[in-house]
Amino acid sequence: MKYDSPGRKLFLAGNYMFLTLLALTMLLPFLNVIAQSFSSPGAIDRGVVMFWPVEFTLAYYEHVFQDVSIWRAFGISVYITLLGTFINLAATASLAYPLSRPEYVGRKTIMVFILMTMIFTAPLIPQFILMRELSLVNTLWSLMLPTAISAFNLFVLRTFFAQIPNELIDSSRIDGCSEARTLWSIVLPLSKPALATVGIFYSVTNWNKYMDALYYINDRAKYPLQVKLRELLVNEGMTDTGNMAFEASSQSVQGVQMAVILVATLPIILLYPFLQRFFIHGMMIGSIKE
């Protein structure tokens, strides 16, 4: 098919139209959330807020930023994202490196077992019993250690490591480097694009921690931001002190909820345009098969 043929032009036009409509189904609800978070309670109750704020107000954000429990949940999410991503990268790289070297015996068998974890997952009750026996229940470690390695991210990193020339690895061994030194001084510096890609995937996952926190965290003071958001949505804005989010006449429950949703989502949205190329690069790495 020629690139300037009528059939291809028609296909591209239909493809662009479909993708535009698909993007609008994702963008318009988010614009509505933003508009409601800046609109007055009366406008929200009348249902006149669509994609632009009506009777502009910052009252909801003032309430959110004055709520100590929300700031605490925000800090916990930042802590989990930073420390958890570091643990993820360290654990994944440590396992991906030996699995990428052809001289290590049994690596294919290990890869099969890892692949099985993508197909079959452990039931919740055995997981909870294991966490309890390890004394991880009601600790932030329960949100980081059990998910230290993702099978998908492991495959991405292993595929990139396998592309590093064996001559570099052999020369480092001849120079007397241990395997750990080879990984730290040669493999990781050459793998910065792959590490950035996997790090982004892990960061997004850690920032959105929700189910694990519901299962393993009992103390409300240790809730991450996503669980705190769920608490506000389900309990209609109830705070830790028992005060309703709309305790002032100038506030509304739905407006506060929209403001919290935006605060929880904004950090990832702001980072994505700067890191988009790493997402694309990660997808290209994952498409390479041996």
Boundaries of every domain in the chain: 1-57, 63-286
Tell me what pLDDT residue 79 has. Answer: 93
Tell me what pLDDT residue 241 has. Answer: 44
Q: Which residue from 130, 150, 131, 153 is spatially nearest to 140, judged by alpha carbons?
A: 131
Tell me what pLDDT residue 82 has. Answer: 92
Mean pLDDT in residue range 66-85: 88
Termini Cα distance of the chain: 30
287: exposed, middle or buried (Cβ count in 10 Å: 0-12, 13-18, 19+): exposed
Tell me what pLDDT residue 243 has. Answer: 47
Q: Which residue from 215, 239, 212, 244 is spatially nearest to 228, judged by alpha carbons?
A: 239
Average pLDDT, the chain: 81
pLDDT in tens, 23-41: 888 888 888 888 888 888 8
Tell me what pLDDT residue 246 has. Answer: 46
Mean pLDDT in residue range 193-209: 87
Residue 125 pLDDT more than 50? yes
CA dist 60 and 273 (Å) reads 27
Q: Which residue from 108, 142, 128 is spatially nearest to 227, judged by alpha carbons?
A: 142
**CATH 1.10.3720.10 for domain 63-286:** yes
* Token pair belonging to 196: 């950035």
Q: What are phi and psi of 92, to 5 degrees?
A: -65, -45
- The one-character DSSP state at 238 is -
Mean pLDDT in residue range 120-144: 87
Q: Which residue from 166, 167, 154, 165 is spatially nearest to 194, judged by alpha carbons?
A: 154
194: exposed, middle or buried (Cβ count in 10 Å: 0-12, 13-18, 19+): buried
* Token pair belonging to 71: 């700031």
Mean pLDDT in residue range 221-241: 72
Tell me what pLDDT residue 279 has. Answer: 63
CA dist 44 and 54 (Å) reads 8
Q: Which residue from 126, 117, 128, 191 is spatially nearest to 150, judged by alpha carbons?
A: 117
Mean pLDDT in residue range 77-96: 92
Residue 86 pLDDT more than 90? yes
Mean pLDDT in residue range 198-226: 87
Mean pLDDT in residue range 103-111: 85
Mean pLDDT in residue range 73-87: 92
Buried b (16+ CB within 10 A) or exposed e, 1-38: eeeeeeeeeeeeeeeeeeeeeeeeeeeeeeeeebbbbb
Residue with the bigger pLDDT between 260 and 1: it is: 260
**Contact in structure between 194 and 282 (CB atoms under 8 Å):** yes
Buried b (16+ CB within 10 A) or exposed e, 202-229: bbbbbbbbeebbeebbeeeebbbbbbbb
Tell me what pLDDT residue 248 has. Answer: 41
Half-sphere exposure of 13 (CA within 13 A, CB side): 7
Distance of CA 77 to the CA centre of its chain: 11
- The one-character DSSP state at 187 is I
Tell me what pLDDT residue 3 has. Answer: 57
**Contact in structure between 52 and 35 (CB atoms under 8 Å):** yes
Tell me what pLDDT residue 278 has. Answer: 64
Tell me what pLDDT residue 201 has. Answer: 86
- Alpha-carbon dihedral 6, 10, 11, 15, rounded to 10 degrees: 150
Tell me what pLDDT residue 226 has. Answer: 85
pLDDT in tens, 140-199: 998 999 889 988 889 888 888 888 888 888 888 887 878 888 888 888 888 888 888 888
- Least confidently predicted of 168-177, 223-232, 273-282: 273-282
Tell me what pLDDT residue 2 has. Answer: 53
